[in-house]
């Protein structure tokens, strides 16, 4: 995995690092290429964005075809959805070079990332 120069990583939550690791492994397995995180706690985002609080990451998809973007999104969502993560293709439509994949930790009722047996 590679983090784009200028990304602010200090303060990123452990759940986001976990998701980034999952996405990097999926990306490598599917494409034999290194995944690039393009935004962590930096960048310009909407007012409700979770980036500034360390709960979100954007990853590069401009090196993927439309079919690869869809497959990557589906594979990551299958592993991360249901555990408190949301995967979203942000930006212009799937085929635009500027689009990117966004992952955030925002658990809904009944979703848990870590369960400790007791």
pLDDT (tens place) for every residue of the chain, 118 residues total: 899 999 889 999 999 999 999 999 999 999 999 999 999 988 777 778 888 899 999 999 988 888 898 899 999 999 999 899 999 887 666 656 667 899 999 988 887 777 677 7
Examine residue 118 and state whether it is found in any structural domain, yes or no: no
* Distance, CA of 12 to CA of 94 (rounded, Å): 27
Examine residue 114 and state whether it is found in any structural domain, yes or no: no
Examine residue 42 and state whether it is found in any structural domain, yes or no: yes
Q: Provide the strand spans (E) within 13-84.
A: 36-39, 56-60
pLDDT at 118: 72
Structure tokens at 115: 């369960």
Examine residue 16 and state whether it is found in any structural domain, yes or no: yes
Confidence (pTM): 0.87
* Distance, CA of 28 to CA of 104 (rounded, Å): 20
Examine residue 112 and state whether it is found in any structural domain, yes or no: no
- DSSP track, 100-118: EEEEEE-PPTT--S-----
Q: Residue 47: which CATH number?
A: 3.30.1380.10
3-state secondary structure of 85: strand
Q: How many domains does the chain have?
A: 1
pLDDT at 45: 73
Examine residue 67 and state whether it is found in any structural domain, yes or no: yes
3-state secondary structure of 70: helix
């Amino acid at each position: 995995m590679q983090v784009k120069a200028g990304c602010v990583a200090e303060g990123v939550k452990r759940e986001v690092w976990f998701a980034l690791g999952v996405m990097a492994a999926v990306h490598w397995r599917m494409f034999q290429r290194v995944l690039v995180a393009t935004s962590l706690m930096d960048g310009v985002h909407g007012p409700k964005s979770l980036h500034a609080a360390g709960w979100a990451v954007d990853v590069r998809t401009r090196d993927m075809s439309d079919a690869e973007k869809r497959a990557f999104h589906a594979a990551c969502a299958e592993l991360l959805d249901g555990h408190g993560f949301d995967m979203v293709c942000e930006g212009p439509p799937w085929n635009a070079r500027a689009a990117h994949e966004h992952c955030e930790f925002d658990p809904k009722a009944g979703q848990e990332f870590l369960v400790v047996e007791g």
